[in-house]
Every structure is written in structure tokens, then in C-alpha cells.
Amino acid sequence: MSSFAYVSGKIETKNGQCMVDNQIVECPNRSLFGGKTESGTKLDLLPSGFIPDTRNDPLFYGLFVAVILIFALLALFKTKIFDKTLGEYLKPIWYYVVICLSVVAWQYLFGIDDGNTLSLRISQWIWELAIALSVIQLVRKNDFGWGNVFFSGILYSLIIHGTKILIRYLFYDKTLLYVLDRLLYGSLLVMVITCGIGFATILITRSKRNVSEVSPK
């Protein structure tokens, strides 16, 4: 008959196992599907075995170059997506993009090594706020519609979390399964912020515009 003992203390991860002091304990389940990598790292969205939990440099770098090439061609030929070019998406909010990338750089250069979870949380709030403010600006000043807001979310997802998974893959020896899970989970958060704030701003802006149009002069 199995027995379980309650162990009190801070849970730390060592060699893919969760430990309190020197005792191995059950890792908290943060995954929606209960997935984890072969090293024991919990996944947030993907189940175990969704793709091979290995590194594949040709595939990773091939996909990375393909994404860069696609967006370079979109910019070069000024291809319109939802009636706006890539420059029209990024130029009005370039400083918000710089803020987000600066925060990501700080997180990996100083935040993780510092081990201060509060400072890491605050840094995440900063880029979340930058996204929200930039989307509000795009809707109010640049006449962005539903499709434009949605594509802005995709751009932010690739810029922020694409950078993060590149760092994780290059410098932290993470597997394809892990970085894909982080990309999807992080992008989901970005899309919720972008579309939630953006769509709400569109509704408010258009309702005010309609009221002003029907109001007697």
C-alpha cells in the first residue's frame, strides 16, 4: 500500500526533478494537458509526445530563416495585409516594439540570473502594458480594424516570443517540444491582450463616432 507524506518548503527543480531540500516531491502541474518533456520540465499547453522531444538544428534554423524571409519579402514588396503594409503596422509603434525587446533582453541578461520573481513579473507587466498602449494607439490614430488588430497580435507574438524561443534554443539547449510549447503559450497571452484591448477600443471608438454623427449640430 502506498503512503504519502506532506513535505513543507520551497520547491526547486534539480536535474529535471522537483525537490524540497533533499527530498524528491511531485512537481506542481502547470500544464493544461499534463505534458512534460523527457527531462521532467512541465509544459503549459502541449501534451508529452506531441512532437519528438529532441533538438533539430536544421529544422529550427530552417523555420527561423523562412519566417525572416517571408516578412522581408512582405516589407520589400509592400504587400498589404488587411489593407495595410508591414511598415504601416510597425512604424507608428516602433518605440513600443523596442521597449518589448529591451525588456526581453533584460529578462535573460539579468532577470533570470538574479532570481527575483517579482522583478521578472514586473518586467512582464511592462511589455504587456506596451502592447496594450500600442494597440490602442493603432486603433485610435491609425484607423486599425478587426483584421489589423488580429495581425498586430501575430506580429507581436513573433517579435517577443520568437526572440525568447531563439534565446532558449541557442543558449539554454532547449528542445523543439519545449520551445514550441513556450511559443504557443506566450503567443496565446499576447493574442488575448492584443485582441481584447484592440477589439474593445474599436467598439468604443466606433460607438463614439456613431453618436457624434447622429447628434444634432
- Whether residue 25 lies inside any domain: the answer is no
Please compute the mean of the pLDDT values over residues 166-177 and round it to a whole number. 93
C-alpha closest to that of 169 among 126, 108, 111: 108
Residue 162: pLDDT band (50, 70, 90) is: very high
Residue 1: pLDDT band (50, 70, 90) is: very low
C-alpha grid cell, residue 184: 504557443
- Name the pTM for this structure: 0.80
Strand order in the sheet with 23-25: 12-14, 17-20, 23-25
CB neighbour class for 191 (10 Å; exposed up to 12, middle 13-18, buried from 19): middle
Q: Which domain holds residue 109?
A: 57-214
- Whether residue 169 lies inside any domain: the answer is yes
- Above 70 in pLDDT, residue 25? no
Q: Return the pLDDT at 214.
A: 60
- Whether residue 93 lies inside any domain: the answer is yes
- Whether residue 51 lies inside any domain: the answer is no
- Whether residue 23 lies inside any domain: the answer is no
Number of domains in the chain: 1
For 100-156, what is each residue's pLDDT tens digit? 999 999 988 887 766 668 888 899 999 999 999 999 999 999 999 999 999 999 999
- Whether residue 175 lies inside any domain: the answer is yes
- Whether residue 143 lies inside any domain: the answer is yes
Cβ count within 10 A of residue 50: 15
C-alpha grid cell, residue 150: 488580429
- Whether residue 1 lies inside any domain: the answer is no
Residues 148-177 as b/e (b if ≥16 CB within 10 A, e otherwise) read bbbbbbebbbbbbbbebbebbbeeeebbbb
For 184-202, what is each residue's pLDDT tens digit? 999 999 999 999 999 999 9
Taking the C-alpha atoms of residue 54 and residue 37, their distance in angstroms, rounded to an integer, is: 9
